[in-house]
Amino acid sequence: MRDFWRALARNRLALVGGVIVAVLAILAVAAPVISPWDPNRPDVKKILNPPSNRHIFGTDQLGRDVLARMLYGARVSLAVGFVSVGIAATIGILLGSAAGYHGGLIDASIMRLVDLMLVFPRFFLLLAVLAFLKPSIWTIMAVIGLTGWMGVARLVRAEFLALKEREFVTWSQSVGASGFRIIWRHILPNAMAPVLVAMTLGIPAAILTESGLSFLGLGVQPPHATWGNILNEGKDAIELAWWLSVYPGLAILLTVLSYNLFGEGIRDALDPRLRQSAGRVVSRAR
């Protein structure tokens, strides 16, 4: 464990990423306290004001403060990222451990389901599902989580395949521990490290997906501000007000970048060998 912290502390980029991740989380939680303006109060006298001392990031078409909206947007974006990754990880762990531990028909059918889900281009599936549902923050979280568990399932299964042959597992089996107990108490804790890395890297992917959907106007709906729907509203004033299109995008970029740096730092510190499994191309949600 001490090796882990030492390796992480030596990775300067990962540290910077980690600090930004922490600062963003604090800003999001403290938004109601630190926000200089009410994010939803329109002001007809301040429509599309460029950035100034009073409104650092300017105001939007309704005269609302962009910085305040972005702070509140961070709450939504981070919450969607965390909850949807939580859902995805739960499903992935359940199915992946069942497949890896039991093998045979269970394994085969779960893995075929994974193959099947991976065939759907994610945005097409998301749009088809969202068109049937009443849009809300909760549906967005659920839908992103339910379409994003396949990577974790594969990962957990691979870990289980390797771990279930080890002595401590055969020992527990020989003293008659139940399958559930062996999975939950013995194998899973040993398989959690790569899952935590995958979750850290899954959060930015979920944030990108949410902001993409909200940008299309099919994600989180106004009056809730999210970075994606501020960009969507700003798009109509693109020739007049660059600040509406630049700052929220920068926020997404910075958030995703920090989470990626931090997540990859954790991965390298946990196990340098993991660096070689460069499966990132696949895990990127688009």
* Min CB(65)–other proteins separation in Å: 21
- The beta-carbon contacts of 230-237 under 8 Å, at least 24 apart in sequence, are 230/60, 230/66, 230/69, 230/70, 230/73, 233/60, 233/61, 234/60, 236/61, 237/48, 237/60, 237/61
Closer to other proteins by Cβ: residue 45 or 134: 134
Q: Are 25 and 75 in contact (CB under 8 A)?
A: no
Closer to other proteins by Cβ: residue 181 or 284: 284
* Min CB(227)–other proteins separation in Å: 9
* Min CB(178)–other proteins separation in Å: 28
Partners of 65 in beta bridges: 59
Closer to other proteins by Cβ: residue 13 or 177: 13
Can you give the binding site for other proteins, defined by CB under 8 A?
111-113, 115-125, 127-133, 204, 208, 211-212, 215-218, 231, 235, 238-239, 242, 245-246, 249, 252-254, 256-257, 260-261, 276, 278, 280-282, 284-286
- Reported as type and span, the H/E element at residue 67 is helix 66-102
The pair of structure tokens assigned to 132 is 């049937």
Q: How far apart are CA 10 and CA 4, in angstroms?
A: 10
* Min CB(16)–other proteins separation in Å: 12
The pair of structure tokens assigned to 187 is 């194998």
* Min CB(109)–other proteins separation in Å: 10
Q: How far apart are CA 46 and CA 50, in angstroms?
A: 9
* Min CB(129)–other proteins separation in Å: 6
Closer to other proteins by Cβ: residue 12 or 112: 112
* Min CB(21)–other proteins separation in Å: 13
Q: Smallest Cα–Cα separation from 280: which of 191, 209, 166, 198?
A: 198
Closer to other proteins by Cβ: residue 22 or 128: 128
Closer to other proteins by Cβ: residue 80 or 261: 261
Closer to other proteins by Cβ: residue 43 or 217: 217
